[in-house]
């Protein structure tokens, strides 16, 4: 692990919250993610399942957590199973997690070897009134298994202090990567070369890597919302839209910025960028406890309508004649304004729930004009608090003049 492990106290509290939300007699069984074969003896990079990490803090495959909080035997109320290191596995992959290390990382006292799990489960299952699990391979076909993920998803929406700290670490590395892009960007560069600067800064500063596949979209490529090919040349006079974020201890940052390839916005680009920034600033101010996500997005759409009129994209007569269910602003702003963040860049969220303190959400208004071949998106990560909101990315340059100034310093 490159970064300092998260204190086990977080995972102890997470398990306590889960157990406290369940009825008596419940047995919880959750297994780690599997390492996926790529080809031959090669594997895709391992990424722990987010729910499993939320409860354990362990980045290891072939593990299982069993919670039976009301069992009469205290040692069977919370058990963590990990694989043994064999001579062969140690030769090829090095030593695995020891029982003592697993206890230190997770805060779980009862650590057993994975080959004991099946027999112990057989003894515990008949005593359970309800079984919660998302993977069913450990159970008989006739056993009634209830899904576990909805219970964890509700808990993950509100972040603990330690979780916010990990997101802040990811944000700081993301900031460093953006400053590196401002230093290196020049006409004639390939999009993948800018991506390489971001990746290099992530690795240099100890991030786990990218929290998601980065978007580096120059010119008309920015009109493709999930453009990840990153294979075109950045032309003089074009804008380049970047959507990227570092991952630290499995926690994500999510940032979008749009910059002029040559370091200077044209007059029209500046008009569009100014509109996006105004909408962004007003939207952030609205992110407070009690706000419903869908309502928030509709208000932001209305803000865009005002800006679109100023930009000449349609007229007030067009607005008066528009279908109620298909407003004109959606032609130039097709995606949502916000999503939850945490262990996943699109973290679990119930859209019917109002914003509340401890939630971390993005704010990402954008404008996309096919006729002009321009796409602009600005995105920061916002912590909801009792007083309103905290912009976790306020130190990442976003003002057009500031971006131009920084880019000119490097040229």
- The number of angstroms, rounded, from the C-alpha of 9 to the middle of its chain's C-alpha atoms is 22
Distance, in Å, from the CA atom of 78 to the CA atom of 26, rounded to the nearest integer, reads 12
Cβ 251 vs Cβ 166: under 8 Å: yes
Q: Report d(CA 216, CA 106) in Å as an integer.
A: 37
Element (H, E) at 201: helix 191-204
Longest dimension (CA), the chain: 76
Given a contact cutoff of 8 angstroms between Cβ atoms, the answer to whether 193 and 242 are in contact is no
Q: How far is CA 130 from CA 133, 134, 136, 143, 153, in A?
A: 10, 13, 14, 10, 19
Q: Which residues are catalytic?
A: 41, 226, 243, 254, 335, 339, 346, 364, 368, 377, 379
SS (H, E, C) 249-313: CCEECCEEEEEECCCCCCHHHHHHHHHHHHHHHHHHHCCCCCCCHHHHHHHHHHHHHHHHHHHCC
Q: Taken in order 218, 219, 222, 228, is the CA torsion positive or negative?
A: negative
CA pair distance 215, 335, nearest whole angstrom: 15
């Amino acid at each position: 692990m490159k970064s300092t492990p998260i204190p086990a106290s977080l995972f102890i509290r997470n398990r306590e919250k889960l157990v406290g939300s369940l009825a008596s007699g419940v047995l919880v069984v959750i297994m780690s993610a599997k390492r996926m074969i790529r080809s031959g003896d090669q594997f895709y990079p391992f990424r722990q399942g987010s729910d499993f990490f939320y409860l354990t803090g362990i980045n290891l495959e072939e593990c299982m957590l069993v919670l039976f909080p009301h069992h009469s035997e205290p040692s069977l109320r919370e058990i963590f199973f990990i694989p043994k290191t064999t001579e062969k596995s140690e030769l090829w992959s090095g030593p695995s997690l020891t029982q003592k290390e697993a206890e230190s990382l997770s805060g779980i006292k009862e650590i057993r070897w994975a080959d004991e799990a099946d027999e112990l489960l057989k003894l515990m299952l008949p005593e359970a009134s309800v079984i919660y699990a998302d993977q069913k391979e450990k159970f008989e076909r006739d056993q009634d298994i209830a899904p576990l993920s909805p219970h964890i998803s509700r808990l993950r929406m509100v972040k603990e202090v330690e979780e916010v700290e990990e997101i802040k670490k990811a944000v700081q590395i993301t900031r460093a990567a953006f400053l590196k892009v401002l230093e290196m960007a020049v006409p004639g560069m390939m999009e993948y070369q800018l991506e390489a600067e971001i990746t290099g800064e992530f690795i240099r500063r100890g991030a786990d890597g990218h929290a998601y596949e980065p978007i580096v979209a120059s010119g008309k490529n920015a009109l493709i919302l999930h453009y990840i090919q990153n294979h075109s040349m950045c032309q003089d006079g074009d804008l380049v839209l970047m959507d990227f974020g570092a991952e630290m201890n499995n926690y994500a940052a999510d940032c979008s910025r749009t910059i002029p390839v040559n370091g200077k916005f044209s007059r029209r680009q500046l008009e569009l960028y100014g509109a996006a920034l105004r909408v962004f600033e007003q939207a952030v101010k609205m992110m407070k406890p009690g706000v419903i996500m869908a309502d928030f997005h509709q208000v932001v759409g209305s803000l865009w309508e005002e800006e679109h009129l100023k930009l000449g994209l349609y007229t007030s007569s067009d607005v008066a004649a528009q279908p109620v269910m298909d407003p004109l602003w959606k032609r130039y702003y097709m995606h949502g304004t916000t999503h939850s963040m945490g262990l996943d860049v699109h973290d679990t969220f119930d859209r019917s729930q109002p914003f509340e303190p401890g939630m971390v959400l993005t704010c990402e208004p954008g404008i996309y004009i096919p006729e002009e071949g321009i796409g602009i998106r600005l995105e920061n990560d916002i912590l909801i608090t009792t007083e309103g909101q905290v912009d976790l990315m306020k130190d990442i340059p976003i003002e057009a003049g500031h971006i131009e100034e920084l880019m000119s310093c490097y040229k």
